[in-house]
């Protein structure tokens, strides 16, 4: 494990040097061009590979390589249905708006999404409203992304002696920087990640972000393919994996502590996470580290998983495991609400669930997610900005084709790899978020090439980086372009805009870092909430504005406001009822779908009853004077 951890550290340092090098080259490039268009849009020069991979890498956030694998591990093949709308994701996300957005943004000189709205609807109010929504939602979105990235860093490098020493030094030098409830390893990971991302984004702008996205896109796909090959070899083929999984039933989740008959020695007794032990003829695995302090006889309570599938128990017992240095005391065990005692529950939807008696993915939710990914991907302002930055329609066409193949090479293999993980690394059901690094180390160690772990584990890190850098730049561009240049100081010099852009980019990164120092709860829910909120706010106003000539300013404002209000209202009601970030889902459908429907309805009402667009706008956006039809 230690050699794997050191390999990870070497791979990470190499990766860092390359990323910073790209930023330096990018900074050199934009010295010769118009600053704002180059810094925020790369002078609209994206080619096929750049457009496809920056789109893919930005869409695949840390969730794709940390959250998604943990869901596959926890719920099995149901995740194939959960993610299935990625079959049409590139077509919808790039094809629906790409051509129009590109043409209009070139014609108008727009460089941000609020810029498009301001020009199309001749409304500064709408531009400021959309900038405010964008900045608030993206800032909220960035905090869990920074937190996830820091956790990935901690898992990636946490077992390296050099990293551990650096964390201890950080605690000694800057103790006030480390809040009570987080570890110095986490804070070190956060600071390294934030420093790296903020530096290359600030220094290199959009072009550096795209170049690093290309690098990260390749790292992701190579990591996934290598993992797939290793996983299939080690599990003995897909048929073998599925046969094992067919007999599998969910474990029981519980807690346990460990005790000694005498006091612990001066160095204490440590029982690592992922340690197997037997208690009363039952097989368990620890999911956290237990420690019996010197001079005491008992550890605090930790999470454990009890394996319940007879075939799995036989397989693990056959391999054997070392005896424990202490006596386990299992405190309580909870069976799954759905799937307990049902062999085969991992093989079909709705899939097992520890808390929901309806299972992980009831049919209504499956329908919601199919619509959710396609709508959410099309409506993300981060994706829209990329559709304003490519060289021409030929680039768009080839990028759609490339991204279709790219996503198939990422998401289908991920499902297979982490279904195999249930057989190769069982008993992590209390902490499934750890499955990605655990599998990376396991597969490369078993294959006899421990340094490979460094490359495999770089994939989730790359995914986190490629999302965060784009969003930092998008908030910065909205503030500089749509607030400062358009509303406060229209005649600002290029030099002023340049330093303001640098300053804003650093400031946004600092705010997200400080927010992540106190990690929020419900990470995945915050990501889903803000991602859905952005789509609900922007998809209808932008798409109707691009395709419907009669769609006007009143329609756009009503559409944005009604969509986001309905969406937030359903979350708020859910928050009050369930005391968590679980929304109310009328008819089993996600708030995103209701928000989008409200947005369409509001847009239609506003367009019908509001004032008409000016002739100039119609001519400029729709060429109404050319041959009519």
Partner 1 sequence: MSTAFRHARREAIHILIVAGICMAWTIGYCGIFAYGSDEIQLLWGVPRWVIFGIALPWIAATVYSLWFSLVYMREDNE
**Contact between 84 and partner 1 per CB under 8 A:** yes
Of the two residues 61 and 85, which places its CB atom closer to partner 1 in the complex? 85
Choice between 359 and 532, CB closer to partner 1: 359
Measured between alpha carbons, how far is 32 from 460 in angstroms, rounded to an integer? 35
Q: Which one of 83-91, 116-124, 275-283, 511-519 is the stretch in contact with partner 1 (CB under 8 A)?
A: 83-91
Q: Please identify, using beta-carbon distances, which residue of 103 and 313 lies nearer to partner 1.
A: 103
Which residues face 285 on adjacent strands? 276, 305
What HEC string does 174-240 produce?
CHHHCCCCCCHHHHHHHHHHHHHHHHHHHHHHHHHHHHHHHHHHHHHHHHHHHHHHHHHHHHCCHHH
3-state secondary structure of 320: coil
Q: Is 389 in the site for partner 1 (CB under 8 A)?
A: no
Candidate ranges 198-206, 208-216, 532-540, 619-627; the one touching partner 1 (CB under 8 A): 619-627
Selected from 300, 408, 550, 582, the binder of partner 1 by CB under 8 A is 408
550 binds partner 1 (CB under 8 A): no
**279: alpha, beta or left? (left if phi > 0; alpha if psi -120 to 50):** beta
Question: Which one-letter DSSP state was computed for residue 484?
Answer: I
Report if residue 107 touches partner 1, rule: CB under 8 A: yes
Cα distance between residue 567 and residue 585, in whole Å: 10
From 7-15, 202-210, 231-239, 448-456, give the range in contact with partner 1 by CB under 8 A.
231-239
Distance in Å, CB of 435 to partner 1, minimum: 20
- Of 233, 238, 317, 572, which one interacts with partner 1 (CB under 8 A)? 238
Return the residue of 20, 80, 222, 333 that touches partner 1, per CB under 8 A: 80
Strand order, beta sheet including 276-279: 276-279, 282-286, 302-307, 252-259, 327-334
Cα 112 to chain centroid distance, Å, stands at: 23
Choose one: 21-29, 188-196, 342-350, 431-439; the region binding partner 1 (CB under 8 A): 342-350
Nearer to partner 1, 96 or 187 (CB): 96
Q: How far is the CB of 64 from partner 1 (least distance, A)?
A: 17
The span from the CA of 570 to the CA of 589, in Å, is 11
Q: Is 303 in the site for partner 1 (CB under 8 A)?
A: no
Is 449 a binding residue for partner 1 by CB under 8 A? The answer is no
| DSSP for 417-474, written as a single string | HHHHHHHHS-S-TT-GGGHHHHHHHHHHHHTT-TTHHHHHHHHHHHHHHHHHHHHHHH
Instruction: Measure the CA–CA gap between 339 and 601, rounded to whole angstroms.
Output: 40
- Residue 162, class by beta-carbon neighbours within 10 Å (0-12 exposed, 13-18 middle, 19+ buried)? exposed
Quickly list DSSP for 605-624. Answer: HHHHHSPPPPHHHHHHHH-T
Judged by CB under 8 A, the chain residues 410 through 429 that form the site for partner 1 are 412
Q: For residues 184 and 167, is the Cβ–Cβ distance under 8 A?
A: yes
Q: Does the footprint of partner 1 cover residue 401 (CB under 8 A)?
A: yes
Scored b (16 or more CB within 10 A) or e, 318-344 reads eeeeeebebebebeebebbebbbeebe
Residue 30 or 55: the one with the smaller Cβ distance to partner 1 is 55
Stretch in the footprint of partner 1 (CB under 8 A) among 94-102, 185-193, 212-220, 512-520: 94-102
**353 conformational bin, left if phi > 0, alpha if psi -120 to 50, beta if neither:** beta
164 lies in the binding site for partner 1 (CB under 8 A): no
Quick check: helix, strand or coil at residue 356? coil
Q: Residue 251 and residue 245: Cα distance in Å, rounded?
A: 13
Question: From the CB of 83, what's the least distance to partner 1, in Å?
Answer: 9
Out of 21, 33, 43, 92, the only residue in the binding site for partner 1 (CB under 8 A) is 92
Residue with tokens 């694998």: 69
Examine residue 615 and tell whether it contacts partner 1 (CB under 8 A).
Answer: no
Lookup: tokens for 77: 């093949």
Q: Supply the minimum distance, in Å, between the C-beta of residue 55 and partner 1.
A: 13
* Alpha-carbon span 604 to 597, nearest angstrom: 11
Q: Which of 47, 95, 515, 520 binds partner 1 (CB under 8 A)?
A: 95
**DSSP class of residue 276?**
E
The answer to the question of residue 587 lying near partner 1 (CB under 8 A) is: no
Q: Which of 430, 447, 338, 529 is nearest to 73 (CA)?
A: 430
**Total length of the chain:** 629
User: Toward partner 1, which CB reaches closer, 144 or 603?
Assistant: 603
Out of 20, 44, 49, 100, the only residue in the binding site for partner 1 (CB under 8 A) is: 100
73 binds partner 1 (CB under 8 A): no
Establish if 333 lies at the interface with partner 1 (CB under 8 A): no
* Secondary structure of residue 520 in the 3-state scheme: coil
Using CB under 8 A as the binding rule, whether residue 119 contacts partner 1 is answered as no
Q: Which residue has the tokens 């032990």?
A: 277
In the range 520-549, which residues lie near partner 1 by CB under 8 A? 547, 549
Tell me how far, at minimum, the Cβ of 315 lies from partner 1, in Å. Answer: 18
240 lines the binding site for partner 1 (CB under 8 A): yes
Is 341 a binding residue for partner 1 by CB under 8 A? The answer is no
Measured from the CB atom, the residue of 136 and 233 that comes closer to partner 1 is 233
Does position 400 interact with partner 1 (CB under 8 A)? The reply is yes
Q: According to the binding rule CB under 8 A, does residue 374 interact with partner 1?
A: yes
Question: Regarding beta strands 276-279 and 290-292, do their DSSP bridges make them parallel or antiparallel, or are they unpaired?
Answer: unpaired
Shortest Cβ 564–partner 1 spacing (Å): 23
Q: Are 558 and 603 in contact (CB under 8 A)?
A: yes
Cβ closest to partner 1, residue 350 vs residue 381: 350
Of these, 363, 514, 572, 577, which contacts partner 1 (CB under 8 A)? 363
Q: Does 495 bind partner 1 (CB under 8 A)?
A: no
Task: Identify which of residues 220 and 366 has a Cβ nearer to partner 1 in the complex.
Answer: 366
Give the nearer residue to partner 1 in terms of CB position, either 387 or 483.
Answer: 387
Asked if 311 touches partner 1 (CB under 8 A), the answer is no
Residue 281 CB coordination number (10 Å) = 6
623 binds partner 1, rule: CB under 8 A: yes
Q: Which secondary structure element, helix H or strand E, spans residue 2, and what is its range?
A: helix 2-29
Residue 251 near residue 427, CB atoms below 8 Å: yes
- Per CB under 8 A, does 394 bind partner 1? yes
CB of 543 to partner 1, least distance (A): 8
Q: Which residues bind partner 1 (CB under 8 A)?
A: 77, 80-81, 84-85, 87-88, 90-92, 95-97, 99-100, 103, 106-107, 237-243, 246, 344, 347-350, 363, 366-367, 370-371, 374, 392-394, 396-398, 400-401, 404-405, 408, 412, 547, 549, 622-624, 626-629
């Amino acid at each position: 494990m230690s050699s794997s951890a050191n390999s990870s550290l070497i791979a990470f340092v190499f990766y860092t040097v390359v990323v910073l090098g790209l930023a330096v080259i990018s900074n050199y490039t934009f010295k010769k061009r118009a600053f704002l268009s180059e810094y925020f849009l790369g002078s609209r020069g994206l080619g096929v590979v750049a457009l496809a991979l920056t789109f893919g890498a930005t869409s695949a956030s840390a969730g794709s390589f940390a959250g998604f694998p943990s869901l596959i591990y926890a719920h099995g093949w149901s995740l194939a249905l959960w993610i299935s709308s990625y079959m049409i994701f590139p077509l919808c996300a790039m094809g629906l708006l790409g051509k129009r957005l590109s043409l209009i943004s070139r014609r108008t000189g727009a460089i941000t999404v609020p810029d498009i709205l301001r020009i199309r609807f001749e409304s500064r109010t709408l531009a400021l409203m959309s900038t405010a929504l964008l900045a608030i939602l993206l800032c909220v979105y960035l905090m869990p992304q920074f937190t996830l990235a820091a956790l990935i860093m901690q898992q990636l490098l946490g077992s390296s002696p050099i990293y551990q020493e650096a964390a201890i030094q950080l605690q000694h030098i800057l103790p006030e920087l480390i809040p009570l409830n987080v570890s110095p390893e986490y804070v070190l990971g956060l600071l390294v990640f934030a420093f790296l991302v903020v530096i290359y984004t600030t220094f290199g702008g959009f072009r550096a972000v795209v170049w690093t996205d290309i690098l990260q896109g390749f790292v992701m796909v190579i990591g996934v393919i290598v993992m797939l090959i290793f996983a299939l070899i080690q599990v003995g083929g897909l048929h073998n994996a599925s046969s094992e999984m067919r007999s599998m039933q969910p474990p029981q989740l519980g807690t346990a502590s460990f005790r000694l008959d005498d006091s612990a020695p001066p160095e204490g007794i440590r029982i690592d996470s992922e340690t197997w032990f037997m208690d009363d003829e039952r097989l368990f695995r620890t999911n956290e580290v237990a420690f019996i302090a010197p001079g005491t006889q008992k550890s605090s309570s930790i999470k454990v998983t009890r394996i319940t599938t007879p075939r799995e128990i036989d397989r693990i017992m056959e391999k054997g495991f070392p005896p424990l240095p202490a006596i386990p005391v299992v405190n309580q065990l909870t069976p799954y609400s759905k799937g307990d005692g049902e062999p085969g529950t991992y093989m079909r939807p709705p899939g097992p669930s520890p808390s929901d008696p309806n299972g992980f993915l009831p049919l209504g939710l499956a329908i919601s997610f199919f619509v959710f990914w396609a709508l959410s991907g099309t409506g993300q302002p981060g994706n829209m900005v990329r559709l304003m930055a490519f060289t021409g329609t030929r680039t768009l066409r080839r990028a759609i084709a490339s991204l279709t193949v790219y996503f198939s090479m990422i998401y289908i293999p991920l499902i297979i790899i982490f279904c195999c993980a249930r057989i190769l690394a069982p008993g992590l059901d209390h902490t499934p978020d750890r499955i990605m690094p655990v599998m990376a180390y396991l597969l490369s160690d078993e294959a006899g090439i421990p340094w490979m772990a460094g490359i495999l584990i770089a994939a989730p890190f790359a995914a986190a980086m490629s999302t965060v850098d784009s969003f930092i730049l998008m908030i910065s561009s909205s503030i500089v372009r749509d607030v400062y240049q358009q509303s406060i100081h229209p005649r600002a010099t290029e030099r002023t805009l340049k330093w303001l852009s640098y300053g804003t980019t650093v400031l946004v990164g600092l705010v997200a870092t400080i927010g992540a120092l106190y990690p929020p709860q419900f990470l995945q829910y915050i990501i889903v909430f803000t991602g859905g909120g952005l789509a609900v706010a922007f998809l209808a106003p932008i798409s109707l504005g691009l395709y419907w000539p009669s769609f006007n300013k009143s329609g756009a404002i009503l559409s944005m406001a009604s969509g986001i209000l309905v969406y937030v209202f359903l979350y708020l009601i859910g928050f009050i009822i369930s005391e968590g970030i679980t929304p109310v889902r009328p008819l089993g459908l996600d708030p995103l779908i209701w928000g989008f429907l409200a947005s369409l309805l509001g847009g239609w009402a506003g367009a019908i009853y509001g004032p008409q667009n000016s002739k100039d706008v119609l001519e400029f956006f729709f060429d109404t004077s050319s041959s009519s039809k």
